[in-house]
A and B are shown apart, each in its own frame.
Chain A
Amino acid sequence: MSEPLQEALRRSFVSLEKQREVWRSVLEECSPLMEALGNLAEQMSALTRVQLLDTPLRVFPQLEELLRVKLLQAADTVLQRLGENMCRLQSIRDSISSQASALLQQYQQSSVDLTMLTERSATVPSLADMLQWIQDAERFYRQQFLQRKALLQTLRPDQLLLLESAPKRWKSLESPSADQQITDSLCRLSLFIQPQ
């Protein structure tokens, strides 16, 4: 087996484990923000549907406009914070992507032949498998990021229908099976990753 390549793979998986944690925590921060956004959208549509002139609130002529401004400002703030979280996701994706491509490059430049590539033991999976898993993880985070970013880019504080459905759509982007596959491969690697 190729020692340098194996070592590089080990380092990548260790860092992948850490980045998965950060990714998860960023997503956990995003979901209450998404809920808040949906909630604000709901308040805005309620305001649109109610004819304030037919309610006891008619004595406040400017109320509707002022409240709408407040709601839009609040939605803006939430969108901004989501944007900041997207930046953090982007940097995680970038780091995973660059590691994956560096590994691939290292493999292409090495003199690893087919036997070495497929050789494996009880504790160490084959280089081919590990390269595959890293690529799978890289693709997962790349797609996840793009989908979430695309969703956020469609959101405008004044487009109520899109805003209202946003929390649901955000949740639907979760891809538990693909995520589970990465967990599984990291499990298979647990003995390999452990510092010797």
Chain B
Amino acid sequence: TNVSLRGTNLRCTWITGSARKIRDNAADWHNLMLRWDRLNDEGFNLAASIVNMSSQGDLLVLDTCPPPSQSTSAEAQQVAGAAELQDECLKLQDVVDRMVVVVKKMEHLVEIQRGVLQLEEFQFGPEGRRVPLCLSWKTREFEEMSGVLLAAFSQELKLKQTILQEVAHTMTSDLSKVYLSCWLHQPFIPAATRLGLEALLLETGHRPL
């Protein structure tokens, strides 16, 4: 998709300055959101296997109680299970770390967008320019849209960080299910966010009208 995005609308390729910045930013938003989605899938599989392992761990603990003779093998099994669980948690940690990087980059995009807006206010006064840079949006609208997108992903990142902290220690299966379903369905990234991105891509000529 990175390839298809570039140069879909050739008449825009000559643009420079603020319009160029805005257009490149939109493409970056698209790519960052794709990267986020891939990380989300990867993380979900890890979180799901962590939940499965922890619930099996409970069963092992129950098993060890009655026959003391078998406890050594059961303990060894438990230690192996714990190591495996630890391993999956580290992998999930790594996914969340990479999500942090994505959100950092999104913050950077918002800063650029704010810079573009400030430059425009400096050049044209508080009303901004008369002729829109792309199709119809005012420069302020780009800045606002970036802010909306960033807010959604930052909040979702906080949720993921909470899930990362808790998912391996959760004893009730209902709560584990809620964690997994939060991870999968991303409640803080509503459908409107995706539509916002599409609007941005349309406005900047990345998607044909």
Q: Is the interface of A mostly helix, strand, loop or mixed?
A: helix
Could you list 10 A-B pairs, sorted by A, with CB under 8 Å? A43-B177, A43-B178, A56-B165, A60-B158, A63-B182, A66-B190, A67-B185, A69-B190, A71-B181, A73-B191
A: contact size bracket:
20 to 34
Q: A63-B182, A67-B182, A70-B185 are in contact. Are A46 and B191 (CB under 8 A)?
A: no
Q: How far is the CB of A100 from chain B (nearest CB, A)?
A: 45
Taken together as a complex, chains A and B put the C-alpha atoms of A95 and B158 apart, in Å, by 55
In this assembly, does A42 line the interface, its C-beta being within 8 Å of a C-beta of chain B?
yes
Q: Does A50 lie within 8 Å of B185, measured CB to CB?
A: no
Q: Does B159 lie within 8 Å of A63, measured CB to CB?
A: yes
Excluding A57-B162, A60-B188, A66-B187, 17 further A-B contacts by CB distance (< 8 Å) are A42-B177, A43-B178, A46-B174, A47-B177, A49-B174, A50-B178, A59-B158, A59-B162, A60-B162, A63-B159, A63-B182, A66-B188, A66-B190, A67-B182, A69-B187, A71-B185, A73-B191
In this assembly, does A55 line the interface, its C-beta being within 8 Å of a C-beta of chain B?
yes
B: contact size bracket:
20 to 34
In this assembly, does B80 line the interface, its C-beta being within 8 Å of a C-beta of chain A?
no
Residues of A that sit less than 8 Å from B by CB = 42-43, 46-47, 49-50, 52, 55-57, 59-60, 63, 66-67, 69-71, 73-74
Taken together as a complex, chains A and B put the C-alpha atoms of A12 and B177 apart, in Å, by 50
